[in-house]
Every structure is written in C-alpha cells, then in structure tokens.
Amino acid sequence: MTLPIRNVAIIAHVDHGKTTLVDALLKQSGTFREGETVPDCVMDSNDLERERGITILSKNTAVHYKETLINIVDTPGHADFGGEVERVLGMVDGCLLIVDANEGPMPQTRFVLKKALEKGLRPIVFINKIDRVRANPHVAVDKVLDLFLELGADDDQCEFPYLFGSGMAGFAKETLEEEASDMQALFNAILRHVPPPVGDASKPLQLQVTTLDYSDYLGRIVIGKIHNGTIRVGQQAAIVTETGAIVKSKISKLMGFEGLKRIDIEEATAGNLVAVAGFANANIGETITDPNDPQALPLIKVDEPTLRMNFSVNDSPFAGQEGDFVTSRQLRDRLFRELETNVALRIEETDSPDKLAVSGRGELHLGILIETMRREGYEFQVSQPQVIYREVSGQPCEPFETLVLDVPEEAVGGCIERLGQRKGEMQDMQVGTSARTQLEFVIPARGLIGFRGEFMRMTRGAGIMNHSFLDYRPISGEIEMRRNGVLISFEEGVATFYAMQNAEDRGVFFIRPGVKVYRGMVLGEHNRQQDLELNVCKAKQLTNHRASGGEELVQLKEPIDMSLERALEYIGGDELLEVTPKSIRLRKVAKAKKLAKK
C-alpha cells in the first residue's frame, strides 16, 4: 500500500531561518538515530553554503509523520539563485513561507513568494524567531498580508494559515498564548493545508527533470516529480528534449528519498519525488515519458540574466603559476558543464577563442561560480560586470532592482544622497526601533555595481542591504560612478616595507609587504581621481651609519582586504580580475600589456 504524500517547499528571505527549521523537522521526525551527531544546517551540504550561511542549491529530503511521507524541498532565499527556486516549485503542491518576527517580509521574501503565488500555491506562513528580543509577530503577520495583496494573491491565498515559533529552539504553535515544545503544530498544518499531489498512476509516464546530479558510477542522475504514471527499474522510457526530439533509454536505477539519504526503490507512482539514472544527456525542464505515448510537460521558464562579464584565459605575468586548469579548453569545458545544472546561466562565444561571455542573475550568482571554480583549481581572469540591456516595445530598456536598506539613523542622509546620484528613487521610509531606519528604493541594476563597499563605509559596517530584480524599464541616463584612481606597480618583484611606507601617503593599499607584484598590477586606491604608478619593490640602501630613531617600531596602515565580492564591485572598465586558487589580483588591461613590452 502506498503512503499518502505531501510535497512542500520551504521559501524565505536569506537568513530568516529556512535551513534551521528543516533541521528541527528532521530531528523531531526521528530521521536521526538517538545519540547521532548532527551538524547545524545539515541541508547546506557544500562548503560555500556553510561558510556564507546561505542556501545556494535547492535540496530535497523526506520525513514520515503520522503514516504520511512529507517531501521537503529547501530552496535558496537569494534572488540571484532564482533559477533554483523556479524549477523546484514545480515539484511541490504547497509551500511554507518563513518570515522573521522582527524584520518582517524582505526583498527576497517578495521574490520567492511571487513565484509561489504565480504557481497557484497556497502558502502556510511561519513567523520565526519569536523568542528574539524586539520580535513583533502580529505586526509581521500584518505585513505579510499587505505583501500578499500587493502581489495580487487571490482570496484563497490571502486566507493563509499562520503559525508562530522558533526553528532554533524547535517549537511551533498556532497562537502566541499556548505552550509548545515541539514542531507538532507545523507538521499538522502541513497535513491539513498542503493538498496531496494531483496525478494519475494509470496514465502514461510523465516525469519532469528539475535537478541534475552526477555519480562516477551511474553517470548523470535526474531528479524530479512524477506527474503521471508509474516508473520502474529496468523500464523502457523516452525523454522529450527541448527541441522536441524523442530519445529512448532504459531506467537503470531508481531512488527515493529517506531523510538525507537516497534509497534504492523498485517502483514509484504519480506524486513521488525520485532520482533516476539512465539518461546521459537529460537537461533541466525536459520530460521523461512513455516511449509508446510520449507526452511532454511545458518547459520550465526561468527569468533571464541581468549581468554579463567576460571569462578569459589568464595572460598576466604570473599566469599558470598557481592553478591546475589554465587552458582555454579547460575553462570552456568547465563553464559549459556548469550550464547543465545552472539553468539561470548563459554562455556566449566572443570574437576571441580564449574569451567567453558569461551572463548571470547578479554579482552574487556570478561570484559563487567564480569562487567554486577557483576552489576546483581553475585559474582565469574576468572583466567588470556589465548590465544586459534589452529592447521592450521598440524602446531600449535596462534592468531595475528593488533595494531595501536597514541603516543606523546617522547614515540615512548619506545613503539617500548617494543613491540619488546613482538614479535611485526612494519609495518608502520607515523609522524603526533602536534608532534604525528602513529605506526602500527602485534603482537601475548598474547603479548598484560597486555600491555595497560604499554602503558599508557609510554605515560603518552596521547597515543591512538587500535587493531583488524588479523589471526592465527605459534607460535612466548617465550615472555618476565616482571612484578614485588606483595605485599601479611599474616594477615586477616583491613589495618591500620600506617602499610601501614611503608611498603610504598616496593612498590605501590592497597588499602587504612580501607580496609578489608585477607591472600593471593594481596595488591600492589613490587619494586622487587619477591613477598613479609606483615602485613598491624598492629596497632601503644599507650603509654603515646608524640612523637616528632607527630603533623605533613603525607600522603600516592596515590594507583593504580585497575579497572576491569586493573586487568584483570595485573593478573598473579598463581593469581585469585575475583569479587563481591562491590569489585574487586586480590589474590594468592596457597598462600591463604596454609595460610588458618595454
């Protein structure tokens, strides 16, 4: 006898507690044996997710509750990974929207909720972190209702059920007054409000591919929901490709989900989420179906990219010294392999065989790809991110974003002034508790390039900044992108303390003494608008005379730590970012080539 099924996605803004809540559901459903060591955020399986505390890739798990199999899909909360959100929402029949009791709905809440409402899903709202100081659960519920109305939810969707609780403390309850020590109220709400999957096991097979995985033993593994029919191990099946071609194959292995593991199964029917091996060339959105009666499901539509940058072979003087994969063929193969699983990414050829144009949903989306590749041993260079313009109704348009800032009171004026210079239009301003203010803007995507670093300086690191794609609008004109000039090395060698100390009054450095530099490499930011060439390799001339005050301890100012994200925001149009497994270096394009010829 087949168990009743509920398929539910967990959606929320970044850092509102999705993955922590899944931890609590897994622990209380008996997924882990008694005494088993369970890490926090067990669903964040790769290193980058654990380090950054965000979900990048959607993942699914399954728990049993009251003789019902509940398939849970943990989705990313950041709009840059919207490709992940859009494709997995087709696998589920309901969703759990998590909202922070203090912050209320945020930009990415709007993004993921809009996608869920468009799919016709009726969300269950979970007001999380009610045990925090300054939590205001009832105000959060009112804000969620306002957001539902704003996004055009129908009457049924606006009558959403809501619960209160804490994923970290592991409890959920229907009212604030009642006592609760477990997640039983949330499990019951899922059984009550998430409809069972619609599908007919007697119809021809239809399984839509929503996620791809790879195994050294099985090859490509496709994961998706069975919309109709039954699938068995050894069964003959066919896949309907994007072009409409029908390619026959055989189901070599079939797996279901049990907790965090995949388990071998012999058969699965409509409504189940399964992993299938046997389709070496399957792609996202395609349909596995009955070869005798092939019926394709509609392809998954993903929002188009808004930012583009060039990936090319590293041609700096230090090329090939730190990476394992440095050739154009290796770079090309890796990028096209990424296309197989990253549906929001686009790759285009350029006029140079050593350069590819890569388009993504935002700086974070492209930054995660760059960071992943450098950790795998790839060495390459990238250009400044550029927004992608489009023609809408015969008029040139550019992408606009909704930007929400949470800033200390003293930084409000500076933020409004700076965003005004970047063509931002303020939509809302709310003075909150603890002398903080929330500002909402609509701003061109290009106006945000390089803004995060400025924002952190203006708010002294105390500001919170979130943004999500809004739509394409007519181009808003020239944006004043003020940035000081840079300090450039005109000598190759090792940076010395003596030379850097003498040049310290010229600006702020990105490097420390002892770092190897080359001609054309960007060493720091100049105090003035123009660029300045420096020799930071000059050593102090030794004499047999003892200098007065020579024993005094002299220290350099702390350099700016150029992380990958900061470098991507900082880079200029005439500069490149050199990325290797060990280093991140900024360099001038023309300057490096001109100096290298001397």
Ranges of H-type helices in 166-305:
184-193
* Pairwise CA distance, residues 486 & 514, whole Å: 20
Q: Convert 103-121 to b/e letters by CB count within 10 Å (16 or more is b).
A: bbbbbbbbbbbbbbbeeeb
| Ligand-binding site membership of 19 (annotated) | yes
| Ligand-binding site membership of 428 (annotated) | no
| Ligand-binding site membership of 437 (annotated) | no
Cα separations (Å) of 46 from 36, 56, 173, 372?
20, 9, 32, 10
Question: Greatest CA separation found in the chain?
Answer: 96
| Ligand-binding site membership of 129 (annotated) | yes
| Ligand-binding site membership of 17 (annotated) | yes
Closest to 206 (Cα-Cα) out of 236, 223, 230? 230
Closest to 444 (Cα-Cα) out of 481, 406, 475, 404? 475
Quick check: 41 and 26 in contact, CB under 8 A? no
Torsion of CA 590, 593, 594, 598, to 10 degrees: 170
**What tokens were used for 52?**
């950054």
Strands (E), 41-122: 59-65, 68-74, 94-100
* For helices 451-458 and 412-421, angle between their N-to-C axes, nearest 10 degrees: 160
Cβ count near 589 (within 10 Å): 16
Cβ count near 177 (within 10 Å): 7
Sign of the C-alpha dihedral, residues 445, 447, 450, 455? negative
Q: Which amino acid is at 535?
A: N
| Ligand-binding site membership of 540 (annotated) | no
H helix or E strand, kind and range, residue 588: strand 584-588
| Ligand-binding site membership of 557 (annotated) | no
H helix or E strand, kind and range, residue 155: helix 155-158
DSSP 326: -
DSSP 11: E
| Ligand-binding site membership of 130 (annotated) | yes
Q: Convert 77-87 to b/e letters by CB count within 10 Å (16 or more is b).
A: bbbbbbbbbbb
| Ligand-binding site membership of 251 (annotated) | no
Question: Which class for 521: exposed (0-12), middle (13-18), buried (19 or more C-beta within 10 A)?
Answer: buried
Cα separations (Å) of 196 from 57, 388, 539?
25, 41, 74
**What tokens were used for 208?**
């839509």
| Ligand-binding site membership of 143 (annotated) | no
H helix or E strand, kind and range, residue 8: strand 5-12
Half-sphere exposure of 585 (CA within 13 A, CB side): 30
Which residues are documented as binding site?
A: 15-20, 128-131
Which residues are documented as binding site for GTP?
A: 15-20, 128-131
